[in-house]
Structure 1
Amino acid sequence: MADLQHDLSRTAAADGFDDLAEPYPDEGVITAESYEPVSDPDDAPLTRAHAILAAHPVADGCNALPWALRRLSYYDLELGESTVDTDVPRLRGGHVGALFWSLQLPEGLDGDRAVGATLEQLDRAKTVARTCDEGLRLTATAGQVADARNCGRVAVLLGPAGAPALGDSLGILRQLHLLGLRALTLTGVSWASEAGLTRFGEEVVREMNRLGVIADLSGASAQTLRRALSLSRAPVLCGRSAARAIRPHPVNLSDDLLAELGAAKGLCLVPLSAEQTGPTVRDVADHLDHIRAVAGAECVGLSGTYDSGSAHPQELQDTSCYPRLIAELLRRGWEESDVALLTWGNVQRLLRSADFTARAAQQRREPSTATISELDG
């Protein structure tokens, strides 16, 4: 139980971690200093957008394609599927290089039913990827994402799943990770509530760090978000949050939380959702402008929310439409280096940081055997 008292705060980076070699070299990771502009003689914004995206594709933080396909008896994603927002031709047309597949659950599920439904979602996602192996590739690490892109495939990362998928068990968390789960949303459970993280919730975050599962804090309370920021050694993610100062949606973030997220090197992925960002592509660009100004260029990314049931802004109806958004940002004077961070570089940094943190933590910490009854009972 001594492990439970070991606080893996991010500030303790010298606790024996300094002698560990970074497993992922800096090559291939985009920073504002290392970015080389795409050479393109045509200054038309849409043409420039396609050129930039060809070099630095979109890493989409939330896509629910497996959930949308559950109602179809037959589909062909390679050829094209008009009944959904996502298929291989449109992914390629939109220059999408990676997707997080959200493992959505029906409302109100908890306990064993939530665990079972999540396993079914994982099975469905793997089946979809297997039947579309010419266009998609399941991945679990930053290196595998880069390999998939180099092979002309769209990398698929499984998650986020909802916290009820754990069934309040760290053992189930480990098994979900073995099945490929890469991100977990910390909402909808007793140990991550409006009051913040309980002792068991803190232990979940530590175990996620040890495994390399990314904490998604969209929809979490301010108390939960702040405690996770201070506790997690790996950067956290807000996978579908925009700026509350522009549009007061409950999942959007206030400026003070955005600033704290940026200071902690976390990532806010702005959803292409009319409800959260507004009805036009210009509204989405307003949120991206605002978050970049408040939290920094290394804190902002994109979350399509395609096939999740959300209505999308005009001109952004499906996954082929990302160049239109990038063109709007270029018209507003965004530097190409910031666009490259927005679309690809920031998510790659997040994945690499999570992988490195896991490798380091596994040298210090055994799998936790804590239970919710021990810590919160």
Structure 2
Amino acid sequence: MADLKYDADAGPEVGEIGDLPEPLPAAPPEPAAPPEPVADPGEDSRTDRLARAHRLLAAHPVADGYSGLPWALRRLSWFDLELGESAVDTDVPRMREGHVGALFWALHLPEALDGDRAVGATLEQLDLVKTVVRAHAEGLRLADASGPITDARHSGRVAVLPGPAGAAALGDSLGILRSLHGLGLRALTLSGVSWASESGLTRFGEEVLREMNRLGVLADLSGASEDTVRRACAVSKAPVLCARSAARALRPHPANLPDDLLAALSAVRGLCMVPLTAEQTGPSVRDVADHLDHVREVAGPECVGLSGTYDAGAAHPQDLSDASCYPHLIAELLRRGWPESDIALLTWGNVQRVLREADFKAREAQRRREPSTMKIAELDG
């Protein structure tokens, strides 16, 4: 802008003093202008961080490790996830707002279901997942590997991965495991059965894990006993994950992991996916960030991920009430100084790595061994 120039008032010519004009009466002072409002620098920073979080998530969306949506949808007579569905925490508009690119749809069952009833109910849920995805083809796409997940993202859809299912769904049969995998199952939780109990993995449990490695089914160890976690880390050739586990050092929930198990998970390049639940992590977004800080510090940035745990019957921290809220969490991590490279691993990169490595190990195992025909009675009888 050009400088403004003011002409000085020349006034009367210099002459006799008596020739000077009478001074004008002083003008009344103008009222003072109200002070300009001063922006709160903290508020500006929060706004900037949130905008930065949206930009970062647009490039590295969330691969969410756990959704209870299949069971939640069973109670609804009608729903539309593409237009929006207020009866659940997760729908396509909110996932797009939260930059969710991939989502594991859990097939867990109420504890009262076991045996043949558990097998049947799991098959029904798998059928429901496929039916829902087909009915919402503009927003959702089934995927079972890293490549199809990326393809779904590039086409503007959310990739849906069926699993984890409960171990009871196998009915102690490796043939059922293969059938479930053929129908799209991608992860299985190793707990709550005789071969994966408080005492750890039995010989048959180890055979189940080897067959999971051969198929490319991920082992989920959330809620498993410490002995099961340690043995699974020792036996599995593919990375294992804990789909709903935070840091027990910060909150003593039984599904949360103590530091020695976080270190064991890191040693096998596994993945601890921190749930956004008030019970496991605390009532605020900062509590969740505390757990992410701790897991990253103990296990490393390549071993931490996210699980919304929406529609699973859990209460959620403030500002993280549904699938649209991930930018608030990422903004908090930016406030704490997380580098963008670590956030990119947290949201997207680590899940992609685990899926790629599991697929690679499966191809290797399929060249070396035939499908297992072992029976539980032969190994644990």
Alignment TM-score, normalising by the size of structure 1? 0.88
1:142 maps to 146
Q: Distance in 1 between matches of 2:225 and 2:255?
A: 9
Counterpart amino acid of 1:151?
S
Which of 183, 187, 191 matches 1:187? 191
Q: Distance in 2 between matches of 1:106 and 1:315?
A: 28
Farther-moved stretch of structure 1 (63-72 vs 359-368): 63-72
Note the C-alpha offset of 1:107.
1.8
Q: Distance in 1 between matches of 2:110 and 2:263?
A: 33
Matched, 1:66 2:70: yes
Note the C-alpha offset of 1:43.
8.4
Counterpart amino acid of 2:240?
V
Matched, 1:242 2:246: yes
Q: Distance in 1 between matches of 2:100 and 2:47?
A: 22
Matches within 5 A, 1:29-68: 44-68=48-72
2:89 maps to 85
Q: Distance in 1 between matches of 2:290 and 2:48?
A: 21
Matched, 1:231 2:235: yes
- SS of alignment partner, residue 44 of structure 1: helix
2:111 maps to 107
Note the C-alpha offset of 1:104.
2.1
1:11 maps to none
Matches within 5 A, 1:351-362: 351-362=355-366
Q: Distance in 2 between matches of 1:357 and 1:244?
A: 31
Task: Give structure 1 stretches of 5+ with no counterpart.
Answer: 1-41
Q: Distance in 1 between matches of 2:229 and 2:270?
A: 11
Matched, 1:130 2:134: yes
Q: Distance in 1 between matches of 2:160 and 2:378?
A: 36
RMSD: 1.1
Matched, 1:365 2:369: yes
Matched, 1:282 2:308: no
Larger radius of gyration between Structure 1 and Structure 2 = 2
Farther-moved stretch of structure 1 (42-51 vs 319-328): 42-51
Alignment TM-score, normalising by the size of structure 2? 0.87
Note the C-alpha offset of 1:279.
0.3
Q: Distance in 2 between matches of 1:72 and 1:206?
A: 38
Counterpart amino acid of 2:223?
G
Note the C-alpha offset of 1:297.
0.2
Structure 1 segments, 4+ long, off by >6 Å, are none
Q: Distance in 2 between matches of 1:64 and 1:153?
A: 19
Question: Number of aligned pairs?
Answer: 337
Farther-moved stretch of structure 1 (118-127 vs 266-275): 118-127
Q: Distance in 2 between matches of 1:114 and 1:143?
A: 31
- SS of alignment partner, residue 249 of structure 2: coil
Q: Distance in 1 between matches of 2:108 and 2:263?
A: 29
Matched, 1:162 2:166: yes
Specify which structure has the bigger relative contact order, considering alpha-carbon pairs within 8 angstroms and separated by 6 or more residues.
Answer: 1
Note the C-alpha offset of 1:322.
0.1
- SS of alignment partner, residue 294 of structure 1: helix
Q: Distance in 2 between matches of 1:43 and 1:325?
A: 13
Matched, 1:220 2:220: no
2:349 maps to 345
Which of 149, 164, 172 matches 2:176? 172
Counterpart amino acid of 1:217?
L
Note the C-alpha offset of 1:337.
0.2
1:304 maps to 308
- SS of alignment partner, residue 118 of structure 1: helix
Counterpart amino acid of 1:156?
V
Identity of aligned residues (%): 77
Matched, 1:117 2:121: yes
Which of 265, 273, 289 matches 1:261? 265
Counterpart amino acid of 1:120?
E
Counterpart amino acid of 2:139?
G
Which of 270, 275, 300 matches 1:271? 275
Q: Distance in 1 between matches of 2:198 and 2:78?
A: 42
Counterpart amino acid of 2:327?
P
Farther-moved stretch of structure 1 (100-109 vs 51-60): 100-109
Q: Distance in 2 between matches of 1:112 and 1:83?
A: 30
Q: Distance in 2 between matches of 1:106 and 1:289?
A: 32
Q: Distance in 2 between matches of 1:337 and 1:284?
A: 19
Note the C-alpha offset of 1:108.
2.0
